[in-house]
Structure 1
Amino acid sequence: MSVVFYLGSIILGNIMVHSLGLVTILGLTFPAGAIAVGLTFSARDFVQERYGKIGCWGWMLTASAITLAFNQQLALASFCAFFLAELSDWFIYTRTRGSFKKRLMLSNLISTPLDSLVFVLLAFGPAWPAIWGQTIIKMLSSILILPLFKNGKTYSLFFSFQRSKAVS
């Protein structure tokens, strides 16, 4: 089910940014889809735990193809940002040693701002408040998944695996 959540958050994020564009909430400006797309960074790490490094790339390519179903400018911005951010997230998560949470946080810390910078620049131009706002929103939403992880297991309707069963 981690794949369903991963792909679903990408679809929802694309629909939101296509429909609403940039929004400002409580003084923070960001693309509307940032909340949903922020979940993808942590969800991708769950997908890698479940399907391994190579299987994860198949799902990442599937997710990239999904973005093509939306607005062409947004699809290009999304694809470029997604590719660079997912590549960095995958690389950092794969190369980092330590606990799942440590690897997830470190990979998100780098890939989230990279994604925000590339996406906002290509979709909306140099809208720095939106770049900062999207980075903050995505980082916060990617952290939302952490409470679902405990003692090598995830506890959720969306995620169900044990780390010992992961494929490398």
Structure 2
Amino acid sequence: MLACIAAGAVLSAVLAAPTLALASAAAFAVSELADLLVYQPLRGRGLLRAVLASNAVGAPLDTIVFLTLAGFPVWSAVPGQLWVKAWATLIPVAAVLAAHALLRHRLRSDRP
């Protein structure tokens, strides 16, 4: 995970203006580390709980750190940012849950 955070920071530095690269790298590092700190202890209690809890912590941190360091208006943008990030979490989680339910159903149906 730490290697991914470092790679994200390097990509930001290469692809963006210095202010945006710093804001992006800092936001990415802070939010991913927070995600990791929340996700790891909860993973044993279920993937869904761990993913939702870590995203509930990481997404607001990412938004606030990035917008603040990039010099954008923070509080007017936070609701929209969090709305989009919530859907970006909920849609894949719903797809995984649906696939898991379908697989469970098929496995039950294949039993004699």
Aligned residues with identical type, % of pairs: 27
- 2:30 pairs, out of 70, 84, 95, with 84
- 2:62 pairs, out of 105, 108, 115, with 115
Q: 1:110 to 1:62 in 2, by over 3 A?
A: same
Higher relative contact order, structure no. (Cα contacts within 8 Å, ≥ 6 residues apart): 1
Query: In 1, Cα distance between the equivalents of 2:87 and 2:11?
Result: 24
Q: Name the structure with the higher strand share.
A: 1
- The number of residues matched between the two structures is 97
The residue type paired with residue 66 of structure 1 is L
Output the aligned Cα RMSD: 1.8
- 2:20 pairs, out of 68, 74, 77, with 74
State which structure, 1 or 2, has the greater radius of gyration over its C-alpha atoms.
Answer: 2
> Residue 79 of structure 1: CA displacement?
0.8
> Residue 95 of structure 1: CA displacement?
1.3
CA offsets 1:97-146 (integer angstroms, 9 cap, x no match): 31111100000001101111111111134431112221221122122211
User: 1:1-168, aligned counterparts within 5 Å?
Assistant: 56-69=1-14, 70-96=16-42, 97-150=44-97, 151=100
Query: In 1, Cα distance between the equivalents of 2:38 and 2:47?
Result: 12
Any stretches of 5+ residues in structure 2 without a counterpart?
A: 101-112
Q: Name the structure with the higher helix share.
A: 2
Query: In 1, Cα distance between the equivalents of 2:5 and 2:90?
Result: 20
TM-score by length of 2: 0.76
Which stretches of structure 1, 4 residues or more, deviate above 3 A after TM superposition? none
Residue 157 of structure 1 corresponds to none
Query: In 2, Cα distance between the equivalents of 1:127 and 1:91?
Result: 25
